Structure 1
Amino acid sequence: MSQDTINALVSPEGSLEILSNQEVARLKDRSEGGLYRLFRQCALAVLNTGVETDDCKDLMEIHSDFDVRLVPQPRGLKLELINAPANAFVDGEMMRAIREHLFSVLRDIVYSHSIPTAIAGFRRDDPDDITNLTFHILRNARVLQAGRTPDMVVCWGGHSISREEYVYSKDVGHELGLRGLSICTGCGPGAMKGPMKGATIGHAKQRVKNGRYIGITEPGIIGAEAPNPIVNELVIMPDIEKRLEAFVRAGHGIIVFPGGVGTAEEILYLLGILLHPDNANLPFPVVFTGRKENAGYFQMIDEFIRNALGEEATSKYEIIIDDPVRVAQTMKKGIAEVETFRRSNQDAYYFNWMMKIDPVFQMPFEPTHESMLALELHRNQPTHMLAANLRKAFSGIVAGNVKEQGIRQVQEKGPFEIAGDPVLLKPLEALLTAFVEQNRMKLPGSSAYRPSYRIVQREGA
């Protein structure tokens, strides 16, 4: 072990206090179909809150002797932690926020794996069932609050950003907080932490006592992006597709800060949805923003989108450079339009039921060397479908960069290969090269980045 560890018996904190015998059995089950390994992985990530890492595989190997066990009690349950990271404790007592996150992990893993069997006729490939599952998980986590007017700003951006970019994201969060807006991010460091930290100060100045700092993650990514300490509502979705759907269903507007392939994946997912004909008149404010030094970055992103998806895609967002006040004002105005639209259409404030999400964005994509090479990356398809396939390409690169299973595949078989129309792939390769040169693929100070991908010429092209 490279750090001190602690053994502890931990009581629940606000999320899940009782389990059925069947749920206990599944959580203890160490076989392929059991939940033990998944629970252990997510629990370990939560216990490493505040520790900067972006390699889930490395985290699991460093803490190979960590274990978590369920201890049934007459009035509930406790968790026994063996060789838990000492940084999660103060004077031998686990920090309350980490304890909340630990039992949020337990709550969401148990619920997301039990609800499909509890709903009669549930199908994992049915779009309505997938949306309902997303709704149920968010409701069970108490993220969805009836009677609350729209105020949720989703902030996307890289975990690997410069100090100056982090400060800018914090300034934007401060302006959002001054206007009473809540923050939802992917829960990790960098551009996911900055807006939350800024908003806490803005909320304090305005005496906002119910400020919300929601972190939405998924098992494959939580080890690389452990929850930052400001998150006060943590949700673990079953996979990246349901995580992304949760963002756009529960959020009322989105701000995008500079980032790498994960941020590009999120942008393409969002634009693919907004470009669907059924969403043409759906108000949903989207702002790309950064420091004046980031102007070139967003010009590069804008040109890539324009080349791949066309002019209509660029009309779905606004680029605001070096102006946190204007970003917050734009978002506040846009969310007011969302509120008016939903009221007039009798749609819920807390969950965007009217948004059309094509099934191609909902079905889980499993990055393998075969599936990555088979992606349809050409313009002979509807624009929102091209966005979906490009999103999968970026998702595969994310997996190869930071997810345990993806990292192992790349180590065993070499980089994922990406093929398609050269008119699309040349700008894609240039964008990825820029991400590498700007150190947006790995955390600053980590070992040199070894690409998890390779652009190739498809046979017969």
Structure 2
Amino acid sequence: MESGVNAKITPERSLTLLSSKEVNRLKDKSEGGLYGLFRRCSLAVLNCGNESDDSKAILAAHAQFDIKVVQQPRGIKLEVSNAPVSAFVDDVMIKGIKEHLFAVLRDIVYANTVLKKSTNFNLERSEDITDFIFHILRNAEILIPGRTPDIVVCWGGHSISRFEYDYTKEVGHQLGLRDLNVCTGCGPGAMKGPMKGAAIAHAKQRIISGRYIGITEPGIIAAESPNPIVNELTIMPDIEKRLEAFVRVGHGIIVFPGGAGTAEEILYILGVLLHPANKDMPFPLIFTGSKRNESYFQMIDEFIAKTLGDAARQRYKIIIDEPRRVAEEIKAGIEEVRKYRRYHSDAYYFNWLLHIDPIFQKPFKPTHNNMRNLQLHRNQEDYLLASNLRCAFSGIVAGNVKAEGILAVEQNGPFEIRGEQEIIAPLEELLNAFVRENRMKLPGEKYVPSYRIVD
């Protein structure tokens, strides 16, 4: 490995001033301090382009990396030591990476020293969680009033083949030609492809205000470092707030092939839409891939049919190998969203009317005990089953790529997943297919399952 770079960086767009108390919390290496969180997220941003999805291995490979906040009378600077060489050109940090680095600082300071300390937020209450998310997004300038709905959330795997990546790029291109903007989880693969395609289309249409929004969280950011096309980055405190941010900011969702993380996202949005309070709300949701992915979406559709039933299947369309039609359908769906929001006097920039049950907002900690006790049975509402299935996939993602989850599996063995056979059998079938198709890790890496199915 090349020796790291030492540098001092001055902010340009985000957060030029910090209080002494905020600086001290960023320096604090104790459990209550923010140093560890800030260092991990900063390293992930600086490690852009270096392909590895093992958060624990990335942290170990850059054990000498350090970052400090330097407070000066005219503002702040960041001082990095042994930073990844790839983040610099001629010893000067790449501008986009620099913007992402200060976005990390902005969001960590705001969420952990402003919002969490405020008596206005009780994060045990559903409406306060939504308000908390709104404030983070507003502070990051993600929410822009006065714009008609135009944000398409794109979900899909970071570990995908070249032909799958090219298809995501073509769909993004068709979206961009229609003046639509893209929001993804900000990483590589199916998160980067739509942004790249949209960026080229925006250039063709002479659109200079194209938005490529990346929404991430501390547990996943190292495995999915922000790709260089992202021009609006925000870090939510956990995966549940990240998912809620997606569905409240976006006006429609496109899902490309992926693995456990994509399955988690699918189950989240279906669970939300299956709640009776959202029965009549328009929310365009399209699953799409190339002709070679047709069997993949048949498999996803069968899994949903066997577990959640036909009511869930009515909430999405599957479109195979037709990028133009995908863009046309999602644009038409977004027009219905615009009419609905206008009729109900809801904001275009944040979906306040969408009901999200507290079960989808409560952070799920993927411990062995919590994974073992998931309620995977028929005797519950469909949206509750979707929530429990979502948690199962969330735990598998943690065991695959998140440092904390990897360590837990190394120390105590695979997570155990158990439940009724009519739920567990299709779940195991889907997971086995993900393993066979190399959707659990980046290509070339041997996958050792982080889970085992228990009858």
The match for 1:241 is 240
TM-score, structure 1 normalization: 0.98
Q: What is the 5 A alignment of 1:41-56? A: 41-56=40-55
**More divergent stretch after superposition (168-177 vs 48-57):** 48-57
Task: Provide the rounded CA distance (Å) in 1 between the counterparts of 2:433 and 2:195.
Answer: 28
The match for 1:441 is 440
One-letter amino acid matched to 1:453: Y
How far apart are residue 3 of structure 1 and its match? 2.4
Q: Secondary structure at the match of 1:82?
A: strand
How far apart are residue 13 of structure 1 and its match? 2.5
How far apart are residue 115 of structure 1 and its match? 3.1
Q: What is the 5 A alignment of 1:78-227? A: 78-227=77-226
For residues 175-203 of structure 1, the C-alpha deviation after alignment (integer angstroms, 9 at most, x for no partner) is 00000000000000000000000001110
Q: Secondary structure at the match of 1:193?
A: helix
**More divergent stretch after superposition (280-289 vs 117-126):** 117-126
The match for 2:406 is 407
For residues 403-436 of structure 1, the C-alpha deviation after alignment (integer angstroms, 9 at most, x for no partner) is 0000000000000000000110011001000000
One-letter amino acid matched to 1:374: N
Task: Provide the rounded CA distance (Å) in 1 between the counterparts of 2:181 and 2:313.
Answer: 26
The match for 1:455 is 453
5+ long unaligned stretches in structure 1: none
The 8 Å contact of residues 153 and 184 in structure 2, kept in 1 or not, is answered as: yes
Task: Provide the rounded CA distance (Å) in 1 between the counterparts of 2:427 and 2:267.
Answer: 13
Q: What is the 5 A alignment of 1:302-313? A: 302-313=301-312
How far apart are residue 50 of structure 1 and its match? 1.2
One-letter amino acid matched to 1:450: V
Task: Provide the rounded CA distance (Å) in 1 between the counterparts of 2:426 and 2:264.
Answer: 15
Q: Secondary structure at the match of 1:305?
A: helix
Task: Provide the rounded CA distance (Å) in 2 between the counterparts of 1:380 and 1:29.
Answer: 47
The 8 Å contact of residues 202 and 208 in structure 2, kept in 1 or not, is answered as: yes
For residues 126-159 of structure 1, the C-alpha deviation after alignment (integer angstroms, 9 at most, x for no partner) is 1011000100000000000000110000000000
The 8 Å contact of residues 164 and 290 in structure 2, kept in 1 or not, is answered as: yes
The 8 Å contact of residues 121 and 132 in structure 2, kept in 1 or not, is answered as: no
How far apart are residue 124 of structure 1 and its match? 1.4
Task: Provide the rounded CA distance (Å) in 2 between the counterparts of 1:429 and 1:112.
Answer: 37
For residues 81-127 of structure 1, the C-alpha deviation after alignment (integer angstroms, 9 at most, x for no partner) is 00001110000100000000000000000011123345324211110
The match for 1:343 is 342
Task: Provide the rounded CA distance (Å) in 1 between the counterparts of 2:373 and 2:2.
Answer: 43
Q: Secondary structure at the match of 1:77?
A: strand
Q: What is the 5 A alignment of 1:14-25? A: 14-25=13-24
One-letter amino acid matched to 2:450: S
For the pair 1:66 / 2:65, whether they are aligned, the reply is yes
Q: Secondary structure at the match of 2:145?
A: coil
The match for 1:260 is 259
One-letter amino acid matched to 2:453: I
For residues 301-354 of structure 1, the C-alpha deviation after alignment (integer angstroms, 9 at most, x for no partner) is 000001110101000000000000000000000001100100010000000000
For residues 266-286 of structure 1, the C-alpha deviation after alignment (integer angstroms, 9 at most, x for no partner) is 000000000000000100100
How far apart are residue 24 of structure 1 and its match? 0.7
One-letter amino acid matched to 2:200: I
Q: What is the 5 A alignment of 1:217-366? A: 217-366=216-365
Task: Provide the rounded CA distance (Å) in 2 between the counterparts of 1:19 and 1:374.
Answer: 43
Q: Secondary structure at the match of 2:376?
A: coil
Q: Secondary structure at the match of 1:431?
A: helix
One-letter amino acid matched to 2:38: F
Task: Provide the rounded CA distance (Å) in 1 between the counterparts of 2:207 and 2:117.
Answer: 39
Q: What value does the CA root-mean-square deviation take over the aligned residues?
A: 0.7
One-letter amino acid matched to 1:69: K
Task: Provide the rounded CA distance (Å) in 2 between the counterparts of 1:43 and 1:315.
Answer: 41
Task: Provide the rounded CA distance (Å) in 1 between the counterparts of 2:334 and 2:66.
Answer: 44
Task: Provide the rounded CA distance (Å) in 2 between the counterparts of 1:16 and 1:164.
Answer: 40
Task: Provide the rounded CA distance (Å) in 2 between the counterparts of 1:145 and 1:391.
Answer: 30
For the pair 1:77 / 2:76, whether they are aligned, the reply is yes
How far apart are residue 22 of structure 1 and its match? 1.1
How far apart are residue 241 of structure 1 and its match? 0.1
Q: Secondary structure at the match of 1:265?
A: helix
The match for 1:383 is 382
Task: Provide the rounded CA distance (Å) in 1 between the counterparts of 2:101 and 2:9.
Answer: 10
The 8 Å contact of residues 376 and 389 in structure 2, kept in 1 or not, is answered as: yes
One-letter amino acid matched to 1:11: T
TM-score, structure 2 normalization: 0.99
How far apart are residue 4 of structure 1 and its match? 3.0
One-letter amino acid matched to 1:244: L
5+ long unaligned stretches in structure 2: none
For residues 239-271 of structure 1, the C-alpha deviation after alignment (integer angstroms, 9 at most, x for no partner) is 000000000000000000000000000000000
- Cα 1:121/1:143, change in 2 over 3 Å: closer
Q: Secondary structure at the match of 1:395?
A: helix
The match for 2:420 is 421
One-letter amino acid matched to 1:68: I
Give the aligned length: 455
For residues 349-404 of structure 1, the C-alpha deviation after alignment (integer angstroms, 9 at most, x for no partner) is 00000000000000000000000001000010010000000000000000000000
How far apart are residue 74 of structure 1 and its match? 1.1
